[in-house]
Structure 1
């Protein structure tokens, strides 16, 4: 199991998209992953790349929310039983959805972000997940085929 990309994105908080891609490329070159794949294919192994979720490169929406006010807080969602509080935040954000799934999360409400925004300073950007954009909910799956 290689968690190289996940390790890079979670270890460095503030990184431009260009720098993130550069760091991933450097780490992949140093990892010898290509040699491993080549050797496994020579031995007729089936090789698949899969992720636990997709992701999206997001930009801060200028809204910094206090962790103390919510049951759960992430860059792309908020969970709280306080519908009024979440409704106030939703009104400030054009690209958001306030929903409740009683049979999944009980009486709590979930504020989800879509498009490419996240909670954070306007100058902040990051590779994120947890929202409802197509890029985040589609699970990447790649089958490597021998030529």
Structure 2
């Protein structure tokens, strides 16, 4: 916690090569495209994938494809480690302070992603974005090739001849997490089971077949946390997460902290004015006292440090 207060702010303005934070990644990818005018890049954001869950996914991918290779690194997510904050930064290529009007929703991600690449000199038909991915189609929707069970809409997007960069949100892990009742061990088991179903392997194979360089990351990780009770505040909080509550007024945040004295008033580093987060302390959550959940929003290592992986084939 002390390290985060002292050092987190200094990470924001570091050069994007090598990348240190999620918002550095689009600029890092832009370097790859600039170096090779024929290059095609696929940017896979696996929502909610923690480092230990990446290790499970990596093991299964190696079992499914002996020729797959990984160049692994890690970057810092944004705090609070929430999708609307951290994932938007990962697609916008800028700190959250620059997308104040959409800080509470991820609905404008595709616009921010396209906007970034238009500024980099690409045209609209060279850029694509798709979310809500993670499940195989019930039938062979793609026309031939190794990805024949991928959803038809995804195959259409990836097969566009002028496409040079695509951002894909795979949110299956996040969906597993928010329904998880068996703790961290249950998460690992469910991620392994999902990986064995083959969506990621088929997607990666399809992308390689179509000439894409593949980079994988996550917007935040997750931890198993124990409930310490819910703040009784009605509609006072702008966002009522399990590990983070967000307020506009510092007095309202201070009032909530009076009940949860160990909760952490996170300084608004790189965040819009009036975006004031109260973080659950240690491995706790703002849920029913004693209840165990798998969640995110805080500053644990598992939530803040996420994988950044280049996926290649021999």
TM-score computed with the length of structure 2 as normaliser: 0.38
Counterpart check, 1:78 vs 2:245: yes
Alignment match of 1:60 (pick from 196, 209, 226)? 226
Segments of 5+ residues of structure 1 without an aligned counterpart are: none
- Once the two structures are superposed, the pairs formed by residues 102-117 of structure 1 within 5 Å of their partners are 104-106=272-274, 109-117=276-284
Contact 2:228 2:287 in 1 (8 A): yes
Output the CA distance in 1 between the equivalents of 2:297 and 2:234. 19
Counterpart check, 1:97 vs 2:264: yes
- Give the aligned partner of residue 87 of structure 1: 257
**What's the offset of the Cα at 1:40?**
3.7
Structure 1 residues 46-93: Cα deviation after superposition (integer angstroms, max 9, x where no partner): 111122x222213224222235063221111223332441231342x3
Cα separation, partners in 2 of 1:74 and 1:137, compared to 1, 3 Å: same
- Give the aligned partner of residue 173 of structure 2: 5
Runs of 4+ in 1 over 4 A off after TM superposition: none
Output the CA distance in 1 between the equivalents of 2:266 and 2:177. 28
- Give the aligned partner of residue 126 of structure 1: 293
**What's the offset of the Cα at 1:99?**
4.5
- For the aligned residues, what is the CA RMSD? 2.9
Contact 2:221 2:306 in 1 (8 A): no
**What's the offset of the Cα at 1:44?**
4.5
Counterpart check, 1:37 vs 2:223: no
**What's the offset of the Cα at 1:45?**
2.7
Contact 2:229 2:287 in 1 (8 A): yes
Counterpart check, 1:136 vs 2:303: yes
SS of aligned partner of 1:68: coil
SS of aligned partner of 1:48: strand
